[in-house]
Structure 1
Amino acid sequence: VSPLATLIGDVTVNDNAIIWPGSIIRAENSKINIGEYTTIFNGVMMFTRSQKSSINIGRYCIIESGVTILGCFMEDYIQIMEGSLLYEECSIGEGSIIIKKSQVPPGLTIPARSVLRGIPVEPIREQSRNDVLKQKDRAEHYSQLFMKIKEQLPNAQSYLLTLPDFIKLILQREK
């Protein structure tokens, strides 16, 4: 967890989950659980606005920058792309992708391996099982990258660069 991320209330961050700078995770009214190897990128906001708005994010998920989650149950291997908004009591099936700047309305149940976009979201295709398994590799990569940066650059300012700057720095050090 980056020292510049804010966690308030009943938040559980499981092994190898990563929370990047600027994320705000507030579990004041209900629990928030972040699964193993899940990456929460910069500027993600999660709020539990009521007792019915708990948030569960499964394993190997990637939540991109600028996403807002107001209550949701997510299975494993899910990707929520930048700027998307997820409302209370929605449920997202394993291996699904929400395309950037989309909105998932309250109470919507999304089947496994769905790819959706729009306001409100509509399905555009289904992922193969092989595509879903690639998500595990991506999630593990981000977890390892964060830990590598933290080890090589132990002071907080160094590992709070933007993601492209992080990657450039790591590649330069590996030469």
Structure 2
Amino acid sequence: MPLHTFEGKAPTVHPTAFVAPSADLVGDVTVEAGASVWFGAVLRADLGPIVVREGANVQDGSVLHSSAQHGTEIGAGATIGHRCVVHACTIGAEALIGNGSVVLDGAVVGARTLVGAGALVTPGTELPEGVFAIGTPVRVMGPIEGTSAEEWIARNPGAYQELARRYLAGFTPGSSGS
């Protein structure tokens, strides 16, 4: 996996975490136990720290960066969907950031909140815990309790943790499959 030291700060990856060989981790990045960072993701912590908490997952093609004012934290069991931009913000535990969404500086996404695909969470926005939010700019549509979104949030962390375990056990980079 491409781990790059910047100004003396090197990424730290727990032995039970999966980082795809085409992901790039630069500088002050921490990937905790059971977390996963998938193909083509870039986590660049050259200005401030990035922490991917236990069991969280950063999916294919996503870009995470920090600023000098704000680090980036992905809460335990949270999901950053495919092709997201997550910049200098805080994502709560078991939150789900939908594919193609953008979450910007100083934003806080509450625990178990679902940000719908393609949403724009503008700088400084605070989304409460346990809601469904969509749009550009994002707006809260209501609580997720009792909806299919609640079930999705409940299942997703475990599903990605299991997939990461499977990759750790049975993935060979560059194999032809023959």
State the TM bucket, normalised to the shorter chain: 0.7 to 0.9
Residue 119 of structure 2: aligned partner: 102
- When normalised by structure 1's length, the TM-score is 0.83
1:124 positional shift? 1.0
1:135 positional shift? 2.8
Paired letter, 1:37:
G
SS state at 2:82 partner: coil
The answer to whether residue 52 in structure 2 is matched with residue 34 in structure 1 is yes
1:114 positional shift? 1.4
**Structure (1/2) with the larger helix percentage:** 1
2:143 to 107, 126, 132: 126
- When normalised by structure 2's length, the TM-score is 0.82
Q: In the alignment, is the contact (CA less than 8 A) between 2:114 and 2:153 conserved in 1?
A: no
Matches within 5 A, 1:129-140: 132=150, 135-140=153-158
Distance 1:158 1:107 in 2: 44
Unaligned 5+ segments in structure 2 are 1-18
Matches within 5 A, 1:1-175: 1-48=19-66, 50-128=67-145, 132=150, 135-153=153-171, 155-157=172-174
Distance 2:102 2:28 in 1: 22
1:132 positional shift? 4.9
Paired letter, 1:47:
H
Unaligned 5+ segments in structure 1 are 162-175
1:129 positional shift? 7.9
Distance 2:65 2:167 in 1: 28
Distance 2:82 2:136 in 1: 18
- Cα 1:72–1:81 change in 2 (3 A) is same
Q: In the alignment, is the contact (CA less than 8 A) between 1:77 and 1:133 conserved in 2?
A: no
Distance 1:135 1:16 in 2: 17
Equivalenced residues, count = 158
Distance 2:41 2:101 in 1: 14
Identity %: 23
* Residues 21-67 of structure 1, C-alpha deviations (whole Å, 9 max, x = no match): 1000001111111011111110000111x211310110011111110
* Residues 114-154 of structure 1, C-alpha deviations (whole Å, 9 max, x = no match): 1111110011121128965763542122121122133223x
Cα RMSD between the aligned structures? 2.1
